Amino acid sequence: MEPDYIISWKVAGIALGLLLTLATALVQPLGVSTQFVVSDAVVAHKVAPEFAESNAYLSKYGEKEDWGVGYGWMLVLGMFVGGGVAAMLLRKRQPQQDKGSMPSMWQARFGDSVVKRDMAAFGGGVLLLFGARLAGGCTSGHMISGISQLAVSSFLFGVTAFGAAILMAHFLYRTRQG
Amino acid sequence: MSTLIIGFLIGCAFGTILYLSGATSYRRILGTLRLQDMWIIKLMATAIGVGTLGIYLLDLGGLAHMSVKPAYLWGVGLGGLIFGVGWAVSGFCPGTCVVAAAEGKKDAMFTVLGAFVGAFLFSLAFPVIESTLISRANFGSITLEDLLGFNGIYIAIPFSLALLGLAFFVLKDRYE
């Protein structure tokens, strides 16, 4: 049987833990969700500068002189480039089940509609970032980096995020009783 | 300036690891959340196990640049719940949707788009949210070290071993 992975969770987990340690030694831990705000703020300052300055949250990022595009933003750009290049080079080795924009698990449960899948992906994205900004971080910043620093807030985030996600996944894939 | 380059390179490595390990895959994420495929749980437990040990060893030498997020209980708790629902519905998190979009997955591009909208909606709601959910019950940037009152390395070592043990010996690969 073909392996259904390119690298195992063991290799990936150890590599990610070492990368986090390296990042903490050199600059600061990993984080992603803040950068969506930074990007929004950069655009807002371009398109509607008065609005951006009047907004208590956006005005913290994306200043005219200093866009706030720093270590964190470059990190997310790197994720896009690194992930994209890896995908180009290793596409052949990627397991069939991990390919494509229509997951077979989704398809079996919710049908073939691409619009339905994309709307769920969009709506999920809205909730992801609203929740992440409210909580102050996401899977990388709170769960991986935060729990590794033994941060109290990150343990709370880990429990509530995993709890809600597990309940929601079971609700979405509940089996109908005849 | 060099900080920007370091950030970019660390990001490249991070994105590559997420792609190679299948963390950008819907079947892995939903498999985990449906408690069937333990891949992502094991990956995260291993990463946190190694990371905790690494960070607190750095801290012993005074070399860790920590960044501990403040514990405002209502905002963090409610934010976690909302995030969790979005996670299960989209099958991505803010990091993996970026990498999956780079892979060319169209659903992930919609998640990225939604994420920009969600961040924007949050910025509109921020004034109300700050006075209600963030400034109340805010205990600041506290860690278990502060809470328990002894050196974090004594918490980090058993905690790391427990997570690594869970990933390597306790959890099975799949549950039906």
The angle at the Cα of A149, spanning A143 to A154, to the nearest 5 degrees, equals 35
Give residues 24 to 83 of B whose Cβ lies within 8 Å of A.
Answer: 24-28, 30-31, 33-35, 39-40, 42-58, 63-73, 75-83
Q: Determine the average pLDDT of the residues in A64-82.
A: 85
**Residue bearing tokens 């894939």:** A173
The pLDDT, as a whole number, for residue B27 is 96
Q: Indicate if the pLDDT at residue A44 is higher than 80.
A: yes
Q: Determine the average pLDDT of the residues in A14-30.
A: 97
Q: Rounded to whole angstroms, how far apart are CA atoms A117 and B26?
A: 12
User: Contact at 8 Å (CB) between B139 and B71?
Assistant: yes
User: Contact at 8 Å (CB) between A61 and A68?
Assistant: yes
Under DSSP, the state recorded for A112 is S
Worst-scoring range by mean pLDDT, A45-49, B3-7, B63-67?
A: A45-49
CB contact under 8 A, A70 and B3: yes
**Residue bearing tokens 């964190």:** A72
* Partners of residue A151 on adjacent β-strands: B143
Q: Using the Cα atoms of residue B74, residue B80, residue B82 and residue B85 in order, give the sign of their dihedral.
A: negative
Q: Rounded to whole angstroms, how far apart are CA atoms A140 and A146?
A: 8
Integer angstrom CA distances of residue B151 from B99, B154, B156: 37, 6, 9
B35: phi > 0 → left, psi -120 to 50 → alpha, else beta; which? left
Q: Rounded to whole angstroms, how far apart are CA atoms A78 and A90?
A: 18
The pLDDT, as a whole number, for residue B72 is 97
The band of A133, judged by pLDDT with boundaries at 50, 70 and 90, is very high
Question: Which residue is closest to B10 within chain A, CA to CA?
Answer: A75
* Partners of residue B174 on adjacent β-strands: B37
What residue spans define the domains of chain B? Answer: 2-170
**Residue bearing tokens 């390597």:** B168
Q: Rounded to whole angstroms, how far apart are CA atoms A8 and B45?
A: 13
A174: phi > 0 → left, psi -120 to 50 → alpha, else beta; which? beta
User: Contact at 8 Å (CB) between A147 and A37?
Assistant: no
The band of A169, judged by pLDDT with boundaries at 50, 70 and 90, is very high
* Partners of residue B143 on adjacent β-strands: A151
CB contact under 8 A, B69 and A81: no
Question: Nearest CA to CA, how far is B38 from chain A (Å)?
Answer: 10
Max alpha carbon distance in chain A (Å)?
63
Residues of chain B neighbouring A28 (CB-CB closer than 8 A): 65-67
User: Contact at 8 Å (CB) between B69 and A141?
Assistant: yes
**Mean pLDDT of all residues in chain A?**
93
Per the model's pLDDT, the better-predicted residue between A3 and A57 turns out to be: A57
Q: Rounded to whole angstroms, how far apart are CA atoms B56 and A98?
A: 35
pLDDT tens digits, B46-75:
999 999 999 999 999 999 999 999 999 999
The pLDDT, as a whole number, for residue A178 is 45
The band of A137, judged by pLDDT with boundaries at 50, 70 and 90, is very high
CB contact under 8 A, A164 and B84: yes
pLDDT tens digits, B77-104:
999 999 999 999 999 999 999 999 999 9
* Partners of residue B72 on adjacent β-strands: B138
pLDDT tens digits, A50-62:
999 899 899 888 6
* Partners of residue B138 on adjacent β-strands: B72
Residue A118: which of B14, B54, B106 has the nearest Cβ? B106
Q: Which two tokens stand for residue A46?
A: 């371009």
Q: Rounded to whole angstroms, how far apart are CA atoms B173 and B156?
A: 26
User: Contact at 8 Å (CB) between B167 and B44?
Assistant: no
Q: Determine the average pLDDT of the residues in B117-141.
A: 94
Q: Which two tokens stand for residue A22?
A: 């390296």
pLDDT tens digits, A94-113:
999 999 999 999 999 999 99
Name the residue among A132, A101, A141, A157 with its Cα closest to residue B91: A101
Query: Alpha-carbon dihedral of residues A115, B108, A145, B81, nearest 10 degrees?
Result: 0
Residues of chain B neighbouring A60 (CB-CB closer than 8 A): none
Q: Indicate if the pLDDT at residue A64 is higher than 90.
A: no
The pLDDT, as a whole number, for residue A60 is 84
CB contact under 8 A, A79 and B11: yes
Residues of chain A neighbouring B141 (CB-CB closer than 8 A): 151, 153
Residues of chain A neighbouring B147 (CB-CB closer than 8 A): 152
Count the helix, strand and coil residues of chain A and give each as a percent rounded to the nearest 5.
70, 0, 30
Q: What is the ipTM of this complex?
A: 0.96
The pTM is what?
A: 0.95
